[in-house]
Chain A
Amino acid sequence: MTKYEEFIVEKGLFVTAILSIIVILLIIGFIFKEGLPAMDSYGFLHFIFGMDWSPSDDQYGVFTMIIGSIGITLLSLLFAVPLSLLCAIFLAEIAPKVMRRILKPVIETLAGIPSVVYGFFGLIILVPFMRVHFGGTGFSMLTASIILTVMILPTIISISEDALKSVPHEYKEASLALGATHWQTIKNVIFPAAIPGIITAIILGMGRAVGETLAVIMVAGNVAQIPNSIFDPVRALTSNIALEMGYATGIHYNALFATGIVLFIMIMVLLIIANYFHYKKKVVIGGGYL
């Protein structure tokens, strides 16, 4: 009986584990099935590098949106990475216990705020502020990036902080014993040892920035054109799908799924790059690695 039970449980766990893989494969299959016809009929290169998105004239070029998505994401990473890494170092190494106890929940609360709230805040407060101080309409790549920065801070902070915390104590002790100051220890020992974890954190933040839809729709202006400066409005790939999915029929519908394929490929490429760095930066010490 116990043997039988063992077998059942083992197989049951295996099935539940495999389910998530099946779900992912089904989703990928469906997106490609719905999206490929549009790429076929419109031409793959035409679709990727086309500058015109105008469903009413049968123009489906997504290049402007690829640029938009990449632009918003990179800009927000530029703001968020230094901020969150320094914050994580402070939390992991320098902050007194009381401070940590207050700061950590506050930062985690930031992650819990729904994106529509961020978007609305951006529309009401940030957009007029940008318009008054930088001219234009206030709807711009920069505005969207600022909102996204706040949204991805908690992700990067909490994961990098865990990475910094998990560096073995012996390292720190050894470094201090050799006469290094606290800052030198952080800079030359703890931080390099935690790099793989930190890269993972940045990638997860990047994934959130690429995938964020609602907040970006509300503040980016959604104009499908190549921005000349960071004060120009842009349209992201995700915004494009969310804006038009409700109305799309026929080839337009397929083109939106094809937009999804492009997003999917973008995220895949990001993940591959991240994993490569993660693998390359592994610190090997005494037969084991961190």
Chain B
Amino acid sequence: MDLKYKLGIIIAIIIICSYLIFIPSTQYERIQIAGSTSVQPVAEKLAKKFGETHPNVRINVQGGGSSLGISSVSQGITQIGTSSRELTQKEKIGLNEYVIGKEGIVIAVNNQNNITYLNKTQIKDIFSGKVKNWKDVGGPDLEIHVITRESGSGTRSAFENLIMGKGIKIKNDAIVQSSTESVKQAVKQDPGAIGFVSLARMTNDVKALKIGGITPSEQTVSDGSYSLQTPFLFIVKGEPKGVVKEFIDFTLSPEGQAIVKGEKVVPVK
């Protein structure tokens, strides 16, 4: 009797497991999205909203970094790759990119620091280690502590493209923090610190510097006058078809752009 029960339970488990493995994959249309961790929250919100009107579509959003997003879409592993940096000429081959929004990069210093603006050359000199004291750029007599992000971060590569240029690297002994939030925390607690954070995550804890006389804000990013900005891209291989095309159209529609704006990313339309 006992044995019969056990057998029954085992058979039931096997049936349930096989049901879980085989059934759901046949019912839905799936979109795989992977790439930039900065774009991820926006993409997730868009996917959620899109799912409300398209119950037969399942969208799966993953991080991994811009480079991974680009490579996985060109290898056909995912239908949509996301990137928070411009593609290189080599990467562009065979891919279509759609700008879904723009993100400002803010150069942040401690609130106690009396500096309010720097030009790009000064920022470059600070981050490359050429300028070591705030008094050399018109600030207090205080050692500069550079806070940067880990290599591979989209915000960091955008910063490097916009400020550092070719061949000049961020200095080796800059403190590395693993997220925008911890960069902010590090800048907040140290009067001599400088770092870069994304505009979407900017708060009053730290002070945003003016670049070329322009304060970073949604307004100045969208009209292009604030020059430290990077596009948020959706990338597809060849021409988008079916649900992928629908999803991209939705993203660029007024409704989709409102969601982008709600995430504090500057919409393009």
Contacts and interface: CB of A to CB of B under 8 A. Distances in A.
Interface of A: 54-56, 123-124, 127-128, 131, 137-139, 217-218, 221-225, 233, 235, 242-244, 246-249
B200 interface: no
A34 B65 CA distance: 20
Contacts of A139: 175, 186
A246 B151 contact: no
B227 interface: no
A56 B151 contact: yes
Nearest to B185: A123
A84 B240 CA distance: 63
Given A137-B190, A223-B173, A233-B173, A248 B178 contact: no
A55 B67 CA distance: 13
Contacts of B169: 54
B124 interface: no
Given A123-B185, A246-B63, A217 B178 contact: yes
Contacts of A247: 64-65, 67-68, 150-153
Nearest to A242: B178
Contact of A128 (B150, B176, B177, B190): B190
Nearest to A54: B151
Contacts of A221: 175-176
Given A55-B151, A123-B182, A139-B186, A243 B145 contact: no
B172 interface: yes
Contacts of B190: 128, 131, 137-138
A137 to B, nearest CB: 5
A243 B153 CA distance: 10
Contacts of B173: 223, 225, 233
Interface-central residue, A233, A235, A243, by most chain B CB under 10 Å: A243
A163 to B, nearest CB: 38
B175 A223 contact: yes
Contacts of B161: none
Contacts of B68: 246-247, 249
21 contacts: A54-B151, A55-B152, A123-B182, A137-B145, A137-B175, A137-B190, A138-B189, A221-B176, A223-B173, A223-B174, A223-B175, A225-B172, A233-B173, A233-B175, A235-B176, A246-B63, A247-B65, A247-B150, A247-B151, A248-B152, A249-B68
A248 B152 CA distance: 8
User: Lowest 9 A-B CB distances belong to which pairs?
Assistant: A247-B152, A247-B65, A222-B176, A243-B150, A128-B189, A221-B175, A137-B145, A139-B175, A223-B173
Contacts of B152: 55, 244, 246-248
Contacts of B178: 217-218, 222, 242-243
B176 A124 contact: no
B193 interface: yes
B172 A224 contact: yes
Interface-central residue, B169, B174, B190, by most chain A CB under 10 Å: B190
B84 interface: no
Interface string B178-196: 1000100110011001000
